[in-house]
Amino acid sequence: MDRREVESGRNSPESNQPAAQISRLAIDIGGSLIKMVYFSSGNDNSVDYREEKSPLAVSTALEGKLHFLKFETSKINDCLDFISSRKQLLGGWKHDDHPGSDEKFIKATGGGAYKFTNLFKEKLGITLDKEDEMDCLVTGANFLLKTVQREAFTYMDGHEEFVQIDHNDLYPYLLVNIGSGVSMIKVDGDGKYERVSGTSVGGGTFWGLGRLLTKCKSFDELLELSHRGNNRVLDMLVGDIYGGTDYSKMGLSSTTIASSFGKAISRDKELEDYKPEDISRSLLRLISNNIGQIAYLNALRFGLKRIFFGGFFIRGHAYTMDTISVAVHFWSKGEAKAMFLRHEGFLGALGAFASYEKRNLDGLLSN
């Protein structure tokens, strides 16, 4: 079987084909979102409406697919209902360390695995078998980079270009995981890593401030709003300060942002005078620029040439990726490139899934 992401068909399986069997579920419960990965075997040609990414074809003892779903953490009952509605996800899993026990468990990571452990037990009778969050992020990233073709890519000026990864020259690299907050992890190999930096200004900041300023009720709604916005209405540019010209001596073009939201200091305008889409756009630019700059400075600090960005903040959003890329390009003077992952939001869940076998996920995929 080819090691690549495959598009799932939408037709019903033929009547003489066996029904799909669902087994093995892992979840990553973050501050904002719950990410889920589960395996289905058999002739499963359906696509759940919640699926964020096309399933990955895998091969174990049975052929099947890995599926990728997300739920808002604030609506955790939606996640519980989904698991409850798939009875196969509730049965047959026994803990390797307690073979004689009838206790059922699923692998889980993220802070919510601790926060909601009693809820899963009460509602579903399931124990959350907790895996370390950073271990799972690194395991998931290494799996994608070493195993899945056309996973890593660069993005700038609307142009997406996939990056060929040399498996023998992958390490070290910087993994920037952008969730509610941001973790920056120096990865030196399988299970070899160090969290070297981070910032509290991340996806949760964008969602939280955006909700207060625009009244948007979801992250996706806020992102969609940013498509229609113009950040220059609120951001003060170098040209605004220098009469429309560049600051050439410092290498700053007239379009460089000198102060995010700097134009909002105008005394004759209030919040209601600005369009929500412009606020969303400026906020997204501020956070993405900041993350790109901090990421590059940490890569420079450790002499790292590869910077991979993951986490559900990105969501394949063109403006987000372009802003991060421009920031890395600017601060590195073109010597470094930001790279993104197609399954950016599921690193932790993939790592938790791998822990069922206490080994890397590479064994799941075969030629």
pLDDT at 9: 31
- Weakest mean pLDDT among 48-57, 313-322, 327-336: 48-57
Residue range 109-152, pLDDT digits in tens: 999 999 999 999 999 988 999 999 999 999 999 999 998 888 99
**Number of DSSP helices (H) and strands (E) in the chain, helices first:** 10, 15
Are residue 354 and residue 320 in the same domain, yes or no? no
Predicted TM-score (pTM) of the model is 0.84
Token representation of residue 354: 């791998």
Are residue 214 and residue 101 in the same domain, yes or no? no
Token representation of residue 361: 């996920």
Are residue 356 and residue 278 in the same domain, yes or no? no
Are residue 289 and residue 354 in the same domain, yes or no? no
Q: How far apart are CA 58 and CA 331, in angstroms?
A: 40
Is residue 258 one of the residues assigned to a domain?
Answer: no
Instruction: Strands of 88-141 (E only): list them.
Output: 104-109, 126-130
Residue range 4-20, pLDDT digits in tens: 333 333 333 333 444 45
Are residue 281 and residue 358 in the same domain, yes or no? no
**Residue 358 in contact with residue 158, Cβ under 8 Å?**
no
Domain of residue 111, CATH code: 3.30.420.510
Residue range 286-306, pLDDT digits in tens: 999 999 999 999 999 999 989
- Closest by CA to 144, choosing from 313, 361, 298, 316, is 361
Is residue 173 one of the residues assigned to a domain?
Answer: no
- Weakest mean pLDDT among 43-57, 59-73, 229-243: 43-57
Rg (CA), the chain: 22
**Residue 271 in contact with residue 302, Cβ under 8 Å?**
no
Are residue 212 and residue 310 in the same domain, yes or no? yes
What average pLDDT does this structure show over 295-322?
A: 94
Those residues with Cβ within 8 angstroms of residue 257's Cβ, 6 or more apart along the chain or in another chain: 231, 235, 236, 237, 238, 285, 289
Q: What is the pLDDT confidence band of residue 52, given thresholds at 50, 70 and 90?
A: low
Q: What is the DSSP string of 39-58?
A: EEESS-----TTEEEEEEEE
φ/ψ of residue 50, rounded to 5: -85, -10
Query: Could you give the angle at the alpha carbon of 362 between the alpha carbons of 357 and 367, nearest 5°?
Result: 125
Number of domains in the chain: 2
Per-residue pLDDT at 103 exceeds 50: yes
Are residue 214 and residue 91 in the same domain, yes or no? no
Q: How far apart are CA 133 and CA 24, in angstroms?
A: 19
Residue range 183-229, pLDDT digits in tens: 999 999 999 999 999 999 999 999 999 999 999 988 999 999 999 99
Is residue 78 one of the residues assigned to a domain?
Answer: yes
- Closest by CA to 28, choosing from 89, 113, 97, is 113
Q: How far apart are CA 183 and CA 176, in angstroms?
A: 6
Are residue 120 and residue 215 in the same domain, yes or no? no
Domain with 215, as residue range(s), is 203-234+274-341
What average pLDDT does this structure show over 307-328?
A: 94
Are residue 129 and residue 220 in the same domain, yes or no? no
Share the mean pLDDT of the chain.
Answer: 84
Are residue 356 and residue 297 in the same domain, yes or no? no
